């Protein structure tokens, strides 16, 4: 407890404080020009975001001012505290960037993105829960198959996307979804992929999977190969698109080795070629440096495509004469927080977004037909509308086990590998062109191909097993007005009546069925190009910002 001036223990009185400040003022009567110089320097630093011209000796003048004040006075204490605060905040505590390959490159499983919490977002970690449910669900929830038949099933041709969204945009969305959402087969509370945009479908989600894609020579990966077998169950345009990233990676590492800036990828002259073990170790390091650098560059391209092509289409900016873009990487200062919006602090995917990112209504008629052929191959002689969940999972696992362990041998879309191990250029271009010209399906109720019934029933059951919050609870979390009537969820009287028959009250509507049948946003130029359900439209923008701004590799933090 501070001492009074008379030596007694107790609080400093208001009178003493006032007297202290008066002494401070009196001590400065002969230093008015010097103090004005300090004040001028502080104002200038404030106007330039804290940048100081050290040739004007502002720091030294502040020290001189502190020395001129009476020892122990309020002014001296205040000024010393402010100076300590400035000097402390000049450095990060603890440091958030380290030397060495473990921190320079992306790890295979996404660990080490956040320096302080290296397991944050790592493959194999638990899903986050964004919304803790408060509303007790009904004792008896509706049958998932009945939900699909009444609310999801497409009757006849697809409703086309109102903004003519290309199926190629859905292909990039499919890659993103398979990049950050891969539920663990053994423990569904965990995700087997990282929570970052690190092109896991191309490079693999862990070290073992990554080994299957690498050649371990000159940083290259196997020609036209990718590590994610789940993509073989997607329309061939998705596979053709991921192969494009494969080719870009191999082009990048070839150019890196050719340019070899500052000898970065040369074998050190200190390594004796006659020492086989040392030379092979040096070659392995060169290969890894090229591979990891090429991966960083390719992931950078991937993020730029997402932000400057995909997100622009989502917001219909491509139809507007504007250069504005929603890029989470920009530096921004919050007027209520001088430190600004945090960045590079890591990310963790949530189970709610796993359910939100199931955009099966966008499957076009062309791609639905392809899925029917795939279903016939994996589930021969089985009706997709009556297959049981257990049979669906068992057959799907059997198909997964039948896939060759070498991704360099996989084929898709009727393509055949050439003698060099890759695919014919014109065949890939044809697949990408067809996907680009194919209009996606529209979001909303009753537009999901019947061939996906088993997949959607599985999704509904998964949401229940996770104990996901309701649609309205998630809307409240995103500061959106909760639906008070079924007609607010979907203005189609027939759909609203089906919802009411199944759920009896809007608060009972589950998250996945809710976002799948919710009323959709119209095309707005600019503003709305995805034309998704109301909740999806807000949620995916929040997720995009979290994915990009939280990634240290993207932010170069």
Nearest alpha-carbon partner for 29 in 69, 58, 60: 69
Could you tell me the end-to-end alpha-carbon distance of the chain, in angstroms, rounded to an integer? 42
Other beta carbons within 10 angstroms of residue 240's beta carbon come to 25
Sequence-distant (≥ 6) Cβ neighbours of residue 176 within 8 angstroms: 197, 306, 357
- The residue annotated as part of the active site, out of 127, 302, 310, 357, is 357
Residue spans of alpha helices (H) in 324-388: 351-356, 365-378
Rounded to whole angstroms, the Cα distance separating 463 from 536 reads 16
User: Which residues, listed in sequence order, are joined to residue 527 by a DSSP beta bridge?
Assistant: none
Rounded to whole angstroms, the Cα distance separating 5 from 423 reads 87
Other beta carbons within 10 angstroms of residue 241's beta carbon come to 23
Ramachandran angles phi, psi of 129, nearest 5°: -115, 115
Confirm if 287 and 216 have CB atoms less than 8 A apart: yes
Cα angle 366, 372, 373; round to 5: 95
Instruction: Say which residue the tokens 């170069």 belong to.
Output: 556
Rounded to whole angstroms, the Cα distance separating 381 from 113 reads 47
Active-site annotation holds for 512 = no
Sequence-distant (≥ 6) Cβ neighbours of residue 38 within 8 angstroms: 58, 61, 62, 65
From the CA atom positions of the chain, what is the Rg in Å? 30
Element housing 313 (H / E): helix 311-314
Sequence-distant (≥ 6) Cβ neighbours of residue 88 within 8 angstroms: none
Nearest alpha-carbon partner for 193 in 184, 222, 435: 184
Q: Is 360 annotated as belonging to a binding site?
A: yes
Instruction: Say which residue the tokens 């507007």 belong to.
Output: 320
Rounded to whole angstroms, the Cα distance separating 464 from 458 reads 10
* DSSP structure string for 439-470: BPBPSSTT-B-GGGHHHHHHHHHHHHHHTPPB
| 216 DSSP assignment | S
Cα angle 276, 281, 286; round to 5: 125
Rounded to whole angstroms, the Cα distance separating 362 from 162 reads 11
User: Which residues, listed in sequence order, are joined to residue 153 by a DSSP beta bridge?
Assistant: 448
Rounded to whole angstroms, the Cα distance separating 74 from 310 reads 57
Sequence-distant (≥ 6) Cβ neighbours of residue 387 within 8 angstroms: 379, 454
- The binding site for heme b consists of 360
Active site residues: 357
- The binding site consists of 360
């Amino acid at each position: 407890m501070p001492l009074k001036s008379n030596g007694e223990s107790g609080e400093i009185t208001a009178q003493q404080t006032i007297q202290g400040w008066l002494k401070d003022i009196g001590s400065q009567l002969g230093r008015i020009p010097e103090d004005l110089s300090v004040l001028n320097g502080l104002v200038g630093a404030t106007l330039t975001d804290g940048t100081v011209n050290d040739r004007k000796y502002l720091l030294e003048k502040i020290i001189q001012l502190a020395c001129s004040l009476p020892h122990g006075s309020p002014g001296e204490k205040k000024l010393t505290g402010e100076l300590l605060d400035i000097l402390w905040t000049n450095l990060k505590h603890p440091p958030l960037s380290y030397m060495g390959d473990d921190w320079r490159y992306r790890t295979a499983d996404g660990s080490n993105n956040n320096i302080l919490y290296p397991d944050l977002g790592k493959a194999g970690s638990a899903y986050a829960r964004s919304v803790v449910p408060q509303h007790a669900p009904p004792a008896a929830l509706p049958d998932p198959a009945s939900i699909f038949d009444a609310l999801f099933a497409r009757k006849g041709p697809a409703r086309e996307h109102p903004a003519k969204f290309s199926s190629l945009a859905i292909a990039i969305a499919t890659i993103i979804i398979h990049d950050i959402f891969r539920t663990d087969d053994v423990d569904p509370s965990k995700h087997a992929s990282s929570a970052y945009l690190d092109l896991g479908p191309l490079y693999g989600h862990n070290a073992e999977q990554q080994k299957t894609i690498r050649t371990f020579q000159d940083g290259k990966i196997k020609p036209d190969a990718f590590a994610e077998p789940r993509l073989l169950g997607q329309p061939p345009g998705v596979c053709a698109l991921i192969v494009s990233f494969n080719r870009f990676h191999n082009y990048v590492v070839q150019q890196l080795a050719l340019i070899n800036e500052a000898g970065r990828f040369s074998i050190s002259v200190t390594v004796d070629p006659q020492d086989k073990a040392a030379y092979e170790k040096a070659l392995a390091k060169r290969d890894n440096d090229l591979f990891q650098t090429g991966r960083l560059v390719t992931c950078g391209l991937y993020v730029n495509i997402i932000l400057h092509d995909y997100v622009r289409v989502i917001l219909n900016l491509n139809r507007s004469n504007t250069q504005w873009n929603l890029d989470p990487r920009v530096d921004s200062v919050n007027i209520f927080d001088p430190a600004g919006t945090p960045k590079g602090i890591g990310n963790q995917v949530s189970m709610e977004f796993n359910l939100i990112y199931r955009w099966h209504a966008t499957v076009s008629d062309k791609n639905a037909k392809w899925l029917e052929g795939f279903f016939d191959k994996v589930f021969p002689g089985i009706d997709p509308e009556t297959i049981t969940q257990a049979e669906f999972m068992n057959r799907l696992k059997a198909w997964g086990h039948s896939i060759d362990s070498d991704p360099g041998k996989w084929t898709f879309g009727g393509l055949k590998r050439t003698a060099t191990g890759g695919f014919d250029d014109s065949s890939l271009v044809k697949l990408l062109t067809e996907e680009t010209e194919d209009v996606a399906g529209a979001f909303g109720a009753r537009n999901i191909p019947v061939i996906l019934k088993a997949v959607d029933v599985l999704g509904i059951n998964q949401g229940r097993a996770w104990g996901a919050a309701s649609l309205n609870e998630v809307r409240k979390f995103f500061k959106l007005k909760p639906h008070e009537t079924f007609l607010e969820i979907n203005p189609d009287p027939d759909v609203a009546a089906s919802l009411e028959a199944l759920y009896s009250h809007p608060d009972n509507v589950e998250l996945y069925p809710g976002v799948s049948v919710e009323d959709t946003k119209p095309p707005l130029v600019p503003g709305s190009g995805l034309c998704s359900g109301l909740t999806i439209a807000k949620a995916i923008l929040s997720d995009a910002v979290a994915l990009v701004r939280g990634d240290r590799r993207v932010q170069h933090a």
